[in-house]
Chains A and B, each alone.
Chain A
Amino acid sequence: MERHLKNLRAALAQVFAYPSYIALAGALATLAFLLAVWLPNLGLIADVFFGSNAPLAAKLNIALSLLGGIGTNFSPLSAGYTIAIAVLFGITAAMIVYLLKQRRVAAAGQNIALGSGAVASGVVGIGCAACGSLILGGLVPFVGAAGALALLPLNGAEFGILSVALLFVSLLLISKTIAEPVTCPLARSENAHQP
């Protein structure tokens, strides 16, 4: 574990030495956070912005005030993992972009697959934040989703926790790829030290 954390520190230092990656990670984390908090009310936001004649400032105020839902519509646990998912998603995505820029497509591809699974799990977890699942509710018959979630000890928060775990694993794997790049070692020879 110590080695993984060392790799993580080294990779973070390497990637975020560039301000552009800090900006990218920040932008993606913010975007993920906004989507997570607005998720239950995306229809309302669309209705306010495109179906109302109110001034733009009033529309923006409504959208911004809905962000306060992180405090009122999320339990401390779900608010915690929602923020963690957003931050980890931003960092992981920025590091994947770094790998792609280094033309290490194979390593980036594996992490994109893992990251996608984490994000999907996170979406379900965030959807379960309030009473009843907002995401599954649209996929399975009405309230059947809530029934399925009731079987879980944390009523669906498990998906959010799983998402954080997957994103963290993905981050460790990317860090390893960045900090310990696969190289062909030089063959030892008898006279290797001779000029």
Chain B
Amino acid sequence: MAAAESVSGEVKLSVTAEWAECIGEDLSGRMNVARAKGKIMSIAGFFRGVMAGLILLASAANAQTAERSAADTALVERVKEAVIKELRESGALDRAIDAGVNRYVERQRTEAAQRERREADAKAAKMRPVAKGRDHIRGNFDAPVTLIEYSDFECPFCKGFHTTVKKVVEESKGQVKWVYRHFPLDQLHPVKARKEAAASECAAELGGNDAFWKFADRFFDLTPSNNRTDIDTVLPQIAREIGLDEAKFASCLASGRHDRRVEEDFQDAGASGGRGTPWSIIVSKSGKTYSLSGAQPYAAVKQLIDLALQEK
């Protein structure tokens, strides 16, 4: 007897002892008949017969296997449909898809944030580091948060923002220092903005860091902005008011010796990403930067400072 069994999708043909016995009987019978008839059957012919029988049996087994295989496939399909239907109806499929989409979106978002962070860090790296001897600093030099402002003395928005930052620094109780750098927009405020920047540097040269800030405060108080300042009158007036030597101040201004310094600040503003004034960069203790464009209100600056203070 030959049997075809389906085990885990594989067809196994087994030859039993009973079947072998049958073959043996058949062989013996054939030999007897051959002897009785006096004819000698060749071994090859006999084996051809055996092979034909085997092929016949195998064909029968294969036919049975194909039928079972088709039934199995149909069963698998039915199970598959039932599972998909169940997944759909229970919402599990939707949840799985949603979770996958959410993971993808989150991954994209994280990558975008990392990319932006890298870009911001790269810009900050291009920015000149704050140095006590080089920069004009207001507030506690060791403050954990630094606000670097790039400003133009003729920009009306810088005028308003100056008051905002002054208030933030005064109220910060030593938590914020303010660094002022020049960003004169020559095309919008030709000649005057750059000359006023140089004048503020002359004030710093003659009276130190305090004189610089007195000059800046007074300048923004006095002048109308938008290139309408009468610099020939206002600059000597401020020098006099803040107690500088007028002659030395005039000589410094005429020499143009601070023009290069103003230009360095201007280039630094561009390198840090500045495209207009006022342009500010808030740096936390950990070095994380927040770039703020324009004269934003006190509440926004204050909250950004608080955010930077929380950065470890």
Where the two chains meet, the residues of A that have a C-beta atom closer than 8 Å to any C-beta of B are 40-41, 43-44, 46-48, 50-54, 58, 61-62, 65-66, 68-69, 71-73, 75, 130-134, 137-138, 142-143, 145-147, 149-150, 155
Chain B residue with Cβ nearest A71: B297
Does A41 lie within 8 Å of B299, measured CB to CB? Answer: no
Chain A residue with Cβ nearest B271: A142
When chains A and B are docked, how far (Å) is the Cα of A52 from the Cα of B259?
39
Chain B residues 150 to 166 lying within 8 A of chain A, measured CB to CB, are 152, 155-158, 160-161, 164
Closest CB of chain B to A63's CB: distance in Å?
Answer: 9
**B235 CB-CB contact with A under 8 Å:** no
A44 — which chain B residues lie within 8 A by C-beta? 290-293, 304
B187 — which chain A residues lie within 8 A by C-beta? 143, 146-147, 149-150
**B113 CB-CB contact with A under 8 Å:** yes
A sample of 20 cross-chain residue pairs with beta-carbon separation below 8 angstroms, ordered by A number, consists of: A41-B293, A41-B296, A46-B113, A47-B116, A50-B113, A51-B116, A52-B288, A62-B304, A68-B299, A69-B295, A72-B157, A72-B161, A72-B164, A72-B294, A73-B295, A131-B185, A132-B277, A134-B293, A142-B275, A146-B187
Partner of A133, one of B112, B275, B291: B275
Closest CB of chain A to B272's CB: distance in Å?
Answer: 11
Tell me the count of chain B residues lying within 8 A, CB to CB, of chain A: 42
Closest CB of chain B to A55's CB: distance in Å?
Answer: 9
Closest CB of chain B to A44's CB: distance in Å?
Answer: 6
**B240 CB-CB contact with A under 8 Å:** no
Chain B residues 101 to 123 lying within 8 A of chain A, measured CB to CB, are 109-110, 112-113, 116-117, 120
Does B290 lie within 8 Å of A54, measured CB to CB? Answer: no
B306 — which chain A residues lie within 8 A by C-beta? 58
**B241 CB-CB contact with A under 8 Å:** no
**B74 CB-CB contact with A under 8 Å:** no
**B303 CB-CB contact with A under 8 Å:** yes
A65 — which chain B residues lie within 8 A by C-beta? 296-297, 299-300, 303
Does A132 lie within 8 Å of B297, measured CB to CB? Answer: no
**B270 CB-CB contact with A under 8 Å:** yes
**B254 CB-CB contact with A under 8 Å:** no
**B144 CB-CB contact with A under 8 Å:** no
Secondary structure call for the A interface = helix
A46 — which chain B residues lie within 8 A by C-beta? 112-113, 116
Chain B residues 273 to 312 lying within 8 A of chain A, measured CB to CB, are 275-278, 288, 290-297, 299-300, 303-304, 306-307, 310-311
Partner of B275, one of A41, A71, A132, A155: A132
Top 9 A-B residue pairs of the complex, sorted by shortest distance between their CB atoms: A132-B276, A137-B275, A50-B113, A68-B297, A147-B187, A73-B294, A40-B293, A65-B299, A65-B300
B275 — which chain A residues lie within 8 A by C-beta? 132-134, 137-138, 142, 145
Where the two chains meet, the residues of B that have a C-beta atom closer than 8 Å to any C-beta of A are 109-110, 112-113, 116-117, 120, 152, 155-158, 160-161, 164, 185-188, 190, 270, 275-278, 288, 290-297, 299-300, 303-304, 306-307, 310-311
Partner of A40, one of B156, B290, B294, B303: B294
Does A143 lie within 8 Å of B116, measured CB to CB? Answer: no
When chains A and B are docked, how far (Å) is the Cα of A153 from the Cα of B186?
16
B311 — which chain A residues lie within 8 A by C-beta? 52
List 4 other contacts, CB 8 Å, given A143-B187, A146-B188: A41-B296, A65-B296, A65-B297, A130-B295
Does B294 lie within 8 Å of A130, measured CB to CB? Answer: yes
Chain A residue with Cβ nearest B302: A65
Chain A residue with Cβ nearest B114: A51
When chains A and B are docked, how far (Å) is the Cα of A145 from the Cα of B290?
24
A54 — which chain B residues lie within 8 A by C-beta? 307, 310
